[in-house]
Structure 1
Amino acid sequence: MKLTGVTVGFEPNADVSWEGIRAYAIAKTIPDHEIASATNTPEAKAYIQNLLQPKIKAGVEQAMVGQLNGPRPVRLDVVVKRFAIASAVQRILIGGNHVMVATATLVDARTGAAIITYPDLVAQVVVGQGIVGTAVQAAIDSAMPQTTTERLIAEYGRSYRTLAGPPGPGGSAAAACGLFRPCHPGTACASNGADRRSRRGRTGV
C-alpha cells in the first residue's frame, strides 16, 4: 500500500481544549472573563479546529513517512473526538495529561472503501503534576525541539503506526493479515484475513 494523503476532520461534538482558544480570543478582542462563554460557539469551534487541523495533518503525515510504500494507493482519514492540552493551572489544581482521541480509517484512495478502522484511538503525553511537577515540566518543555501540541500529535501518529505498521517480528495483527503485503491462499495470513473480513459487519471495517 502507498499512502497518498491524510485527511483530518472533527466529530460534531469534538472536545478541543487547546491554545487555539486563546488565539480566537485575541483575534476577536474577547476579554479574559468572557473567554469561556465566547469560545463555546459554532464560530469559535470552527476557528479553533481550522487552526488545529493542519497541525494534526502534518504531524500524522510525518509519523507515517516510510511506512506505506506499496503499489496500492490508500488514504488515512482521521476524525478527532478529543484534543486536550492540560493547562498549568489544571495540572496544579486537579491534575491531567495531554490527550488526543481520534478514529483512524485507512481508505482505498481509488474506491473510497474503508480497509480497516481503529475507533477512538488514544494517545497520551504524561506531564508533571502539582506545583513542583508543573514547574519542572515547564523547564523540560522549553528545552524540547517540539511544542506540546506537536509532541501529542506525534504520539498519536506513533500509536497508529504501531497498530498498522509493517509486518515482521512484533508487527501488528493488521499487517500480518495482509494489509501491508499480499496474503497467499492456504496460509495462516489468508485465514486471518478471511476471519477479519467476516467480522466487518460487527466492527464496521
Structure 2
Amino acid sequence: MLLEIKNLDCRRGHKLVVADVTFNLKSGECIILKGPNGSGKTTLLRHIAGLNSNNINNLSNDEIAFSGHLDGVKSTLTVNENLKFWAGVYNTDNIDNIIKILNLRDLENRMAGELSAGQKRRLGLARMLLTNAKIWLMDEPTVSLDEKTTKIISDIIVNHCDEGGAAIISTHVDLNLPKSTILDINSFKPSVGKEIDPFLKGNF
C-alpha cells in the first residue's frame, strides 16, 4: 500500500468542500478523480500533497510529487536551465532522457517565459519526471496539450505505474489508462451539519 486516506475533510478557506474521503492507493494503480468544476478535486489533491494542510500521510518529499495548474516554470531561465535547476533539487541526472520523452530538444535554449501554454505544460511535467517520486498527483495534466502530446503523457503515466509507481489524476479527458479506477468526488459531499468550520462554532 503506497497511500491510505481515511476520513479526510478538505477545506477551501473556511468552506468544507469534501468530507470523510476514504480510499487506498496501491502500487501500479491509477485513480481518476471525476466531478464537475468546483467540486473539490484540486482541493483534495492539494491536501494529499500537504499544500493545504499538514502532511496527512507522513510522506517524505521524495515519495510524492504534485503537478498543478501552475507549472512551476521559472520564466527568466531557459528550458535547459529550468531542468538543470530541478535536477539539482532532486539530485538526478536524467535530463537528457526526459528532454527526449517530452520532445523539448528544440526548446532547450528558449527562455521559459517565451513558451506557449502547451510548451510550459510539457516543461512543468518534466519537473515531475525528475522527482523520481512513487506517487504522482496530477491536476488536469493535459490542459493546453495537443492530441499527440496527450498520448505521450498517457504513455508516461502507464509506464510509471507499470514500474511500481501510482497516480491520482484529476482530468476531464479520457487518457485511456488501462489500470485506472474512477473515484467520484461527488460521493464525498459534506452533510449539512459538517459544513461549518468547527473553529467558527467554538468547538476547539
Q: Same fold (TM over 0.5)?
A: no
TM-score, normalised via structure 2 length: 0.24
Which has the greater radius of gyration?
1
Greater RCO, CA 8 A, separation 6+: 2
Looking at secondary structure, tell me which structure has more helix per residue.
1
TM-score, normalised via structure 1 length: 0.24
